[in-house]
């Protein structure tokens, strides 16, 4: 019997049972990247987190519509959402390209990186520029309901009126409207806004601005927060099950999204809001703007002052899975090295599990019970707000027993057949379907040949050992080690693995 999935809801600050609006189906919207530069690792962690969540929902049998947008317009630079330059637009001007060329370039790069991390693609990946009409429509509705006002062709959302009438502005991010109003920072075009906390939903374009669309108010472009409100509504309905994103989007992005949805339809967009936590580099937030960053490429090649060597994508994914998605994760070289070894141990354990044969003639009841309990715990932990680090711990506990059986420390006779089967299927499901890990075979194409050659080499070494020709045997072993192939002598023969 499966336990019930509980999810931490940012709005209530509590874990809640997931009760989908439509039985058996889950609608999930996750804020995607703004495609104005290369993805950085922090983005990757967030999307790995939501990939885990998506995969687990699928495993639980839900039909999931996973929508993750591409923001290719409206995201402004500098302070405030007024007067500053659009990120895509700016990059286009600097590189003398069409804005859509910029968006295309970085969207492709983003997709490649998601693929490298073995993230499943979302069900729908809508672009902001492809939904200008929907956004204009939403602005109209917000104005019709009295929460938007136009000044010089730009339209702003009246946060104070909204807060007064609905009393929910600030609820998601835990902010008080009074505090927002006392914000004294000097903002551009501040004079157009009625209140400092108001934000633009439609922005009149300067003559030099490259991205521009006609609207009832001006030739301009939509505000940053608007596309998510419009697109989530379009593809998931006015109210849907889960809305997610990085924790740094809580305010103002998500807070304003909620306001816009209420402003347009007087209803809450999502029942559950989920936020992933930040990836830190040596104790500090990774951030493009202050240079404290390692790119995914640097991580893979090791070409960074922060790293002693490169790490494979799956090592990094495993590293991320080892911490809970709501905790900050500190990326350090030492931690990465530990993850690399841990990941290897886990995968080796899985391989060993596949070679096991259950004899079951002399059953160890306690051990079998414990293994069955471990299997149950894995899913109970995942049901508890996607606790992958705990699930991983259970897996490792099983690995110890698996290895002990494999090398004969525990007799195979003690393992029951059905326990072995469910252990094997659990490992396969959890490792590959839920955690999204995969084997990393450097040259998978000629793997068969390599295996045959290794068989020959090990046979020769075996012969040398029979003849007590130790120097020959050790030369073979040591040379292989230099080539990155580890030779492992066991009770019943020799095996090898690529490091």
Partner RNA sequence: GGUCGGGUGGCCGAGCGGUUAGGCAGAGGUCUGCAAAACCUUGUACGGCGGUUCGAAUCCGCUCCCGACCUCCA
484 lies in the site for RNA, by CB under 7 A: no
| Cβ proximity to RNA, 95 vs 446, nearer residue | 95
Interface positions, 57-116, toward RNA (CB under 7 A): 75-81, 87
The total of other beta-carbon atoms located within 10 Å of residue 455's CB is 11
The dihedral over CA atoms of 166, 171, 174, 176, expressed in degrees to the nearest 10, equals: 0
491 lies in the site for RNA, by CB under 7 A: yes
Residues 161 and 193: beta-carbon distance below 8 Å: no
Local structure of 29: helix, strand or coil: strand
Interface positions, 131-160, toward RNA (CB under 7 A): none
| Cβ proximity to RNA, 88 vs 143, nearer residue | 88
Residues 264 and 232: beta-carbon distance below 8 Å: no
Query: Considering only residues 27, 99, 223, 252, which one is a binding residue for RNA as defined by CB under 7 A?
Result: 252
Report the Cα 212 to chain-centroid distance in Å: 32
| Cβ proximity to RNA, 214 vs 355, nearer residue | 355
Query: Considering only residues 188, 194, 284, 459, which one is a binding residue for RNA as defined by CB under 7 A?
Result: 284
Least separation in angstroms between residue 144's CB and RNA is 26
Indicate the helix (H) or strand (E) that contains 232.
helix 226-236
| Cβ proximity to RNA, 406 vs 416, nearer residue | 406
Q: Do the bridges between strand 199-204 and strand 154-157 make them parallel or antiparallel, or are there none, so unpaired? A: antiparallel
Greatest extent of the chain over all pairs of C-alpha atoms, in Å = 92
Least separation in angstroms between residue 197's CB and RNA is 8
Interface positions, 450-469, toward RNA (CB under 7 A): 465
Determine the Cα–Cα distance for residues 136 and 3; give it in Å rounded to an integer. 44
180 lies in the site for RNA, by CB under 7 A: yes
Interface positions, 298-337, toward RNA (CB under 7 A): 319, 322-324, 327-330, 332, 334-335, 337
Q: Nearest-5° angle of CA 137, CA 125, CA 133? A: 15
The stretch among 159-167, 260-268, 390-398, 441-449 that binds RNA (CB under 7 A) is 390-398
Query: Considering only residues 60, 105, 111, 175, which one is a binding residue for RNA as defined by CB under 7 A?
Result: 175
Phi-psi region of 83 (alpha: psi -120 to 50; beta: other; left: phi over 0): left
The stretch among 155-163, 339-347, 356-364, 438-446 that binds RNA (CB under 7 A) is 339-347
For RNA (CB under 7 A), the number of binding residues is: 89
Local structure of 217: helix, strand or coil: coil
């Amino acid at each position: 019997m499966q336990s019930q999935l509980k999810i931490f809801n940012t709005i209530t600050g509590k874990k809640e049972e997931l009760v989908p609006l439509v039985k058996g189906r889950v609608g999930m919207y996750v804020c995607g990247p703004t495609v104005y530069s290369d993805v950085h690792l922090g983005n990757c962690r967030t999307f790995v987190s939501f990939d885990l969540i998506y995969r687990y929902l699928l495993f639980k049998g839900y039909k999931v519509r996973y929508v993750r947008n591409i923001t290719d317009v409206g995201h402004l630079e500098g302070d405030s959402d007024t007067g500053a330059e659009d990120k895509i637009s700016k990059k286009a001007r600097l590189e003398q390209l069409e804005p859509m060329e910029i968006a295309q370039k970085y969207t492709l790069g983003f997709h490649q990186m998601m693929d490298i991390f073995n993230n499943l693609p979302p069900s729908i990946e809508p672009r902001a520029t492809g939904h200008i009409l929907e956004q204009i429509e939403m602005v109209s509705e917000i104005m019709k309901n009295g929460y938007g006002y136009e000044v010089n062709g730009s339209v702003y959302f009246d946060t104070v009126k909204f807060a007064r009438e609905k009393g929910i502005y600030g609820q998601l991010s835990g902010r008080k409207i009074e505090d927002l109003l006392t914000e004294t920072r000097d903002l551009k075009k501040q004079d157009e806004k009625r209140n400092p906390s108001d934000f633009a939903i439609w922005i009149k374009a300067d003559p030099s601005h490259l991205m521009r669309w006609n609207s009832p108010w001006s030739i301009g472009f939509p505000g940053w927060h608007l596309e998510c409100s419009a697109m989530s509504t379009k593809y998931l309905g006015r109210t849907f099950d889960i809305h997610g994103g990085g924790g740094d989007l809580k305010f103002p992005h998500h807070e304003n999204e909620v306001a816009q949805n209420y402003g347009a339809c007087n209803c809450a967009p999502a029942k559950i809001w989920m936020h992933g936590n930040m990836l830190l580099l040596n104790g500090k937030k990774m951030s493009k703007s202050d240079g404290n960053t390692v790119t995914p490429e640097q991580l893979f090649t090791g070409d960074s002052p922060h790293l002693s060597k490169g790490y494979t994508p799956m090592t990094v994914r495993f590293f991320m899975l080892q911490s809970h998605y709501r905790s900050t994760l500190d990326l350090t070289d030492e931690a990465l090295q530990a993850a690399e070894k841990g990941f290897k141990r886990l995968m080796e354990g899985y391989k060993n599990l596949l070679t096991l044969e259950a004899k079951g003639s002399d059953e160890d009841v306690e051990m079998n019970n414990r293994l069955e309990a471990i299997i149950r715990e894995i899913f109970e932990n995942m049901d508890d707000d996607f606790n992958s680090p705990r699930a991983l711990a259970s897996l490792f506990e099983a690995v110890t027993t698996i290895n002990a059986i494999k090398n004969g420390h525990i007799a195979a006779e003690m393992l029951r057949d059905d326990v072995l089967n469910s252990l094997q299927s659990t490992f396969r499901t959890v490792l590959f379907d839920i955690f999204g890990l995969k084997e990393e075979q450097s040259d998978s194409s000629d793997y068969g040949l390599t295996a045959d050659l290794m068989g020959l080499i090990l046979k020769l070494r075996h012969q040398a050992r029979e003849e007590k020709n130790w120097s020959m045997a050790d030369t073979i072993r040591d040379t292989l080690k230099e080539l990155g192939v580890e030779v492992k002598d066991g009770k019943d023969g020799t095996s090898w693995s690529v490091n």
